[in-house]
Amino acid sequence: MDWTVVQNSLPMFEKGFWLTLRLSFFGIIGAGVLGLICSFIQYFKVPVLRKLVSAYVELSRNTPLLIQLFFLFYGLPQVGIKFSAEVCGIIGIIFLGGSYMAEGFSGGLAGVSKTQIESGLAIGLSRFQLARYVIFPQGLMLSVPAFAANVIFLIKETSIFTVLAIPELTNTALDLIGMYYNTNEYLFMLVVAYAIILIPLSILLTWLEKKVRYGTFGN
Amino acid sequence: MGHLGINIFFEGANFLRLLGGLYVSAKIAFLSIVFGGILGIVLGVLRTLHNPLLRLLLRLYLEFFRIVPTIVLLFLFYYILPQSFNINYKADTVGTIVFSLWMAAEMSDIVRGALISVPRHQVESGKAVGLSTVQLYRYVLLPQSVHLMIPATINLMTRIIKTTSLLLLISVVDVINVGQQIIEANSHRYQDGAFWIYGFIFILYFILCYPLSRLARRLERRGKAGANG
Amino acid sequence: MAEPLLKVEHLKKSYGEKQVLEDISFEVEEGSVVVLLGPSGSGKSTLIRCLNGLEAFQGGTILFNGETVRPSPKNWRRLRQQIGMVFQSYDLFPNMTVLENILLGAVKVQKRKKDEAARQAMGLLKEVGMEQYANAYPRQLSGGQKQRVAIVRALELNPKLMLFDEVTASLDPEMVRGVLEIILRLAREKMTMIVVTHEMNFARQIGDKILFLEDGKILEETPGRQFFTKPQTERAKNFLESMDF
């Protein structure tokens, strides 16, 4: 292991690191919002939209991100819609992540116990009030584990952006390998870089899960 | 102007070649699922034994495969393995190895999770009748946890199938790779080849994975209803 | 004689093929306590849940306070402010404090002013010995404490009728007494109540009238004192003996 190689490539890895974080951040927020909206549509069984959401969820969960990206970046321009590589990446993450988030939130909302709902009804809450004071707060708390898993999953998926030559972490490493052949050093740094992001994040999310679970299961 | 895009499928052996590529992806997925599945069950059982060192080692193995993105795993094995251990495998084999190990890691977690959720008194009853550890697993723990494992395993299988899409990056001639070749070869005749080919591959994956997803969901629902019986 | 507060006539309910409640008819006078007794599966819980709309019924009528109940979400919302219910699972909303739990109905449903509602809430909490827990969260309370708060939460809406569905069945034995004493006190204050319970001694003390159910039918309707010494039916007799240890 040649440590000077490691040292010299640090600046490039740093850039890739921040890009990975930035793309992940926007992608996850977008996916979260999309997922939340979809789960509400499914929970309230909104007539037409519900079928659309179902179709969307199935379509995006059963196809790989890679193909989604290729389709967005190579396929769409041919019918007139053109996005930059980074935008394709974020759209891909939002499209894929949205359905995972939707499933996570739906699971949480469905997990609110029947007795909680009946207690709310018994004090005269309307359906809207029930949703606002009972179902959503508790449902969102119950979704935290799934949300955490999805966050980690989506950050890892950004590694696939390398196929569109987006200079995130994986691409940086592969590029350097292509140029200088120091495979060991660059792959080592790549793994360390992902560990730096994912291990603390994983610990933070586990702590959040525990905190929330204690609150919900107070009954 | 070029020909009508969709006709790209009827050119020469394009369609057959795509299916050939699909076969490669499917084969690697299948082998990985089988090898990884068996290894995963064994590892999962091992993780529930009361050996802290073993559990720690296996946990590290699992976490490694969880932290590192699959793409990176593929490159790690594809580039580093030959150098360090002087083994030179075809890209297909490397892919199968990586996916098998990944499948085993995730599977071990599913198995472990299912095994530890068998109610404690079941285990204690078994011990009280004098069952050995092996017998405990064989007659009490595994049978009662199998139904819990199945939906998660099917979802895992779906994930493996989808991730085989990355194999093209280590030059496995899978369906996407073939697709790319077709698009390039026909680029001046079919301006929107990419749209149709990638669209088609998109649908292929969907057709492969959707039935599995639905099966998993149906089993999950039935499992819940049965468990609360 | 004044009109009964609650009048149930020929109530019928079925789950698909199964007839769960058959031709249930009874009256509840204002200020009285009716206790529903019977073996498991006799329909006691189902019946009481029909009375505040948590279960739908397919036949018969319910008259509350002189008005025929037309089952619709809007009507039930209105009626539930007058018919309070306490459940076996003391479900307080975990994301709110005790006080917030109690005030939710008063402020958001009945649209009362917060100060007035809070004053009443604190008063009620004091009566059940829980006023120091006003700002605590449900997870910090024991089962018995939570159930007391649940009762206050129902009382806060100033209901005319209170329904209790096996409210002590999930409690540790030491806490049962505390909760039952509160209900006894309510009875003494002339709150109209319908109680489903397995606590025989309690039923004997509180029941002005006993309805004995089996298989979804009222087998017997007897004044409280008399039921425990001289039940009218053989089944009731067997039931009482089986409950006696």
Domains and CATH numbers, chain B: 3-225 (1.10.3720.10)
The pLDDT value recorded for residue B5 is: 66
Query: Which of A96, A110, A84, A88 shows the shortest CA–CA distance to A32?
Result: A96
Chains in contact with A via at least 3 Cβ–Cβ pairs below 8 Å: B, C
Q: Specify the higher pLDDT residue, A26 or A178.
A: A26
Q: Are A177 and A150 in contact (CB under 8 A)?
A: no
Taking the C-alpha atoms of residue B153 and residue B219, their distance in angstroms, rounded to an integer, is 11
Taking the C-alpha atoms of residue C129 and residue B52, their distance in angstroms, rounded to an integer, is 49
Radius of gyration of chain A (CA): 21
Q: Are C13 and C20 in contact (CB under 8 A)?
A: yes
pLDDT band at A51 (very low <50, low <70, confident <90, very high): very high
Instruction: Give A188→chain C minimum CA distance, Å.
Output: 45
pLDDT at A218 over 50: no
Query: Which of A134, B192, B91, B197 shows the shortest CA–CA distance to C153?
Result: A134
Report the 10 Å Cβ neighbour count for A166. Answer: 24
Chain B interface residues facing chain A, Cβ-Cβ under 8 Å? 5, 66-72, 75-76, 79-80, 83, 158, 162-163, 165-166, 169, 176, 183, 191-199, 201-202, 205-206, 208-210, 213
Q: Are A151 and A28 in contact (CB under 8 A)?
A: yes
The pLDDT value recorded for residue A6 is: 81
The pLDDT value recorded for residue B229 is: 31
Taking the C-alpha atoms of residue B26 and residue B208, their distance in angstroms, rounded to an integer, is 9
In chain A, residues with a C-beta closer than 8 Å to the C-beta of C105 are: 123-125
Report the 10 Å Cβ neighbour count for C145. Answer: 22
Residues in chain B: 229
> How far, rounded to the nearest angstrom, does the alpha carbon of residue C83 sit from its chain's CA centroid?
9
Q: How many CB pairs under 8 A join A and C?
A: 86
Phi, psi of A72 (to 5 degrees): -65, -45
Closest CB from A74, A159, A195 relative to B71: A159
Residues C39-57: tens digit of each pLDDT = 888 889 999 999 999 999 9
pLDDT at C156 over 60: yes
> Which tokens in the block code for residue A48?
């037409």
Lowest mean pLDDT among A96-100, A134-138, B168-172, C193-197: B168-172
Mean pLDDT in residue range C222-245: 84
Residues in chain C: 245
Closest CB from B83, B176, B195 relative to A75: B195
Taking the C-alpha atoms of residue B156 and residue B103, their distance in angstroms, rounded to an integer, is 8
All residues at 6 or more sequence positions from A76 whose CB lies less than 8 Å from its CB, including other chains: A82, A83, B195
Taking the C-alpha atoms of residue A62 and residue A72, their distance in angstroms, rounded to an integer, is 17
C214 - beta bridge partners?
Answer: C217
In chain B, residues with a C-beta closer than 8 Å to the C-beta of A183 are: 79-80, 83
pLDDT at A128 over 50: yes
Whether C54 sits inside 8 A of A121 (CB atoms) is yes
Whether A118 sits inside 8 A of C80 (CB atoms) is no
The pLDDT value recorded for residue C232 is: 85
In chain B, residues with a C-beta closer than 8 Å to the C-beta of A93 are: none
Q: Which residues of chain B have pLDDT under 50?
A: 1, 227-229
DSSP C4: P
Whether A67 sits inside 8 A of B176 (CB atoms) is yes
Whether C157 sits inside 8 A of A121 (CB atoms) is no
Q: Are B169 and A163 in contact (CB under 8 A)?
A: yes
pLDDT band at A193 (very low <50, low <70, confident <90, very high): very high
The pLDDT value recorded for residue B228 is: 40
Instruction: Give A92→chain C minimum CA distance, Å.
Output: 35
Taking the C-alpha atoms of residue B24 and residue B17, their distance in angstroms, rounded to an integer, is 11
Whether A219 sits inside 8 A of C77 (CB atoms) is no
Chain C interface residues facing chain A, Cβ-Cβ under 8 Å? 52-54, 73, 76-78, 80-81, 84-85, 87, 89-96, 104-105, 108-110, 137-140, 146, 150, 153-154, 157
Query: Which of A97, A201, A195 shows the shortest CA–CA distance to B67?
Result: A195
Torsion of CA A103, A104, A107, A112, to 10 degrees: -150
The pLDDT value recorded for residue A7 is: 85
> How far, rounded to the nearest angstrom, does the alpha carbon of residue B10 sit from its chain's CA centroid?
32
Chain A interface residues facing chain C, Cβ-Cβ under 8 Å? 113, 115-116, 118-127, 129, 133-134, 137-138, 141, 214-219
Q: With residue B152 as reference, give the H or E element that holds it.
A: helix B142-163
Q: Specify the higher pLDDT residue, C124 or B128.
A: C124
Residue from A56, A66, A106 to probe the interface with B (highest B Cβ count within 10 Å): A66
Residue from A117, A123, A129 to probe the interface with C (highest C Cβ count within 10 Å): A123
C238 - beta bridge partners?
Answer: none
Q: What rounded mean pLDDT belongs to chain A?
A: 89
Instruction: Give C139→chain A minimum CA distance, Å.
Output: 4
Residue from A70, A172, A175 to probe the interface with B (highest B Cβ count within 10 Å): A70
The pLDDT value recorded for residue B225 is: 59
Please give the domain boundaries of chain A with CATH numbers for all domains: 3-217 (1.10.3720.10)
> Which tokens in the block code for residue A159?
């590694």
CA dihedral over A65, A196, B74, B59, signed as positive or negative: negative
Chains in contact with C via at least 3 Cβ–Cβ pairs below 8 Å: A
Q: Are B9 and B198 in contact (CB under 8 A)?
A: no
Chains A and B: 3 or more CB pairs within 8 Å of each other? yes
Instruction: Give B175→chain A minimum CA distance, Å.
Output: 11
Share of chain C above pLDDT 90, in %: 63
Q: Are C210 and C221 in contact (CB under 8 A)?
A: yes
